[in-house]
Copies of this chain bind each other. A is one copy, B any other.
């Protein structure tokens, strides 16, 4: 059975922004502050480094906090992650679903109406969660598409919701702007937690805005 997953406050890790702390240290603090799901992302890491990082993050996660791996399906399988998240340049979602089997979660990025339509056209059960963004432009992911703004996110989120998919917004979200987001089931943050002096406090501040 596919893992349950609470998307309310979804942390995507950034190794560089976490320094001088380790990513597992930031994750541990963030989860104590209220993060409900974690995606390990490190586009600069070798596969071996990513595998070791994923194992280290997994070791600090309490039960009930879902662990995703960005892009690397092989790492997700080996590390026993709950799911994989793929972008538009990663392996295609139907192929990823074939590799991960029926029990793991699959997330897919969608940054435009066309990408959302493609996600919704996949066979039911292929994708579980759609990452909608960027809401606002961000230095964390300079290759991301044009900013959608809260209204653009809400429009895509409503389509995902109507199709029964979980949706999360991503891109430039922090405690000061998260309340502007509607029609999504959760928010993803990177720098708002990884670059925070106190990741636990940052997570608590976000949960105060996005708690449901």
Contacts and interface: CB of A to CB of B under 8 A. Distances in A.
A116 interface: no
Interface string A44-84: 00111101000000000000000000011111011000000
A91 interface: yes
Interface size class of A (residues with CB under 8 A): 20 to 34
Contacts of A73: 74
Q: Is the interface of A mostly helix, strand, loop or mixed?
A: helix
A99 B89 CA distance: 23
Interface string A11-52: 000000000000000000000000000000000001111010
Contacts of A75: 91
Interface in A132-191: none
A99 B49 CA distance: 17
B90 A48 contact: yes
A98 interface: yes
Nearest to A49: B89
Nearest to A72: B74
A78 B98 contact: yes
Contact of A74 (B46, B48, B74, B88): B74
20 contacts: A46-B90, A47-B72, A47-B90, A47-B91, A48-B88, A48-B89, A48-B90, A48-B91, A48-B92, A51-B92, A51-B95, A72-B74, A74-B74, A74-B77, A74-B91, A74-B96, A74-B99, A75-B91, A78-B91, A78-B95
Interface of A: 46-49, 51, 71-75, 77-78, 88-92, 95-96, 98-99
3 nearest interchain CB pairs? A73-B74, A46-B89, A74-B74
